[in-house]
Structures are given as structure tokens and as C-alpha cells.
Copies of this chain bind each other. A is one copy, B any other.
């Protein structure tokens, strides 16, 4: 099998997505201009509107590039939990959290994307929430359904509200997770402990009356 070329070529679209992700993490969606993005990507200014149509569409594609994979793995992990009759609330939360933590460990921009995610949570942007709801809402719905089996007394609406807050807090904690992981890659032990802390924190938040 022939080895891949040592220097990988990135298309214009890929270079724009990479530069946009980096600048959105640094300066936010409103704070990062398309002129900065295209300059860092070494492409023409008009390339964004040519390939993506608008800045808003570019923002959505920055999310889609990472979240499609994340949600697929969340669904798979949830199916495994559902098949286990002895699964606990913590197990469901693990299916929700571990795929997200894996995103932060992606060596090419994973930690940067987590910072973009943290910004999105802080912004409460309506257009972005609609996009996330339309594209990945069904996954959240499946998790809420499974959470309800373990917390039958918690109203669905209240559970959505708590999951939103927990997701925001966890997203911010994930930046720490990614940073720690970079500092010490000796083993999985520490990673597992950190993940368990996050899961226990989330479980406490969900079980609160």
C-alpha cells in the first residue's frame, strides 16, 4: 500500500473552514471578519461567499464538520447502553459525554473547536440554536427519552433546561480536559478519572429535586 504524500493538500473550502474555526475561537463569530479568515486561509475574500454563500452558512459548516461525527458516535454509544438492562444514569451520561471528550482530543483542531463550542453556548445565538436543533435535535431527544427512564419524576421541559446548562458547563470543562490531556499523555488513567468527575457532576445536577 503506497504511503500518503508527506505534504497534504487542502482545498480552498478546507482552508477556509480551518481558518474560520481558529478565528471564531479567538474572536467570536461577530468579532472575526471574513477578511481575517480569508487572509489566514490564503484565499480570496470572495471565496467565502462563492463556496458557502454567506458568513452564517460558513459558521454552520464549521459546526457540521465536527458535530456530524460526534452525534453518530453518541447514537451508537446510546444504543449500547440501551441494550444493557443494568445500565445506570451514569452510563447514559457517559454515552453523552465521552464522544464529546473525544472531540476535544482530536489532534488537528479539536481543542480549538471546543472553544468555539463554548462560545456558542455563551452566545445563546438564536439562528445557531435553530441549526443545532434541526440537525441534531433528534439525538438529544433520544437521550432525554433514556434519561427519563432513570428519572421518571423529572418533567421533560425541566430536563431539557438542565441538559442545556450541563452541556454548557461541561463544554467549558472540556477545554480543561483537552489541555490536561495535552500536558500528560502517559496513560488513559487520568483521562478516565477526569471524565468520571464530569459524569458525577452532571448526574448530581440531573438528580437534584
Contact = CB atoms under 8 A, between A and B. Distances in A.
Given A28-B30, A119-B123, A122-B121, A194 B208 contact: yes
A118 B209 CA distance: 25
A161 interface: yes
A104 interface: no
Interface string A169-209: 11011011001000000000010011001001100110011
Interface string A32-66: 00000000000000000000000000000000000
Main secondary structure of the interface of A (DSSP, over half): helix
> What copy number does this chain have within its complex?
2
A31 interface: yes
A48 B54 CA distance: 32
A168 interface: yes
29 contacts: A26-B124, A27-B30, A28-B28, A28-B30, A28-B31, A30-B30, A30-B31, A118-B121, A118-B122, A119-B122, A119-B123, A121-B122, A122-B122, A122-B172, A161-B179, A165-B175, A165-B176, A168-B175, A169-B169, A169-B172, A172-B172, A176-B205, A190-B208, A190-B209, A193-B208, A193-B209, A197-B208, A201-B201, A201-B204
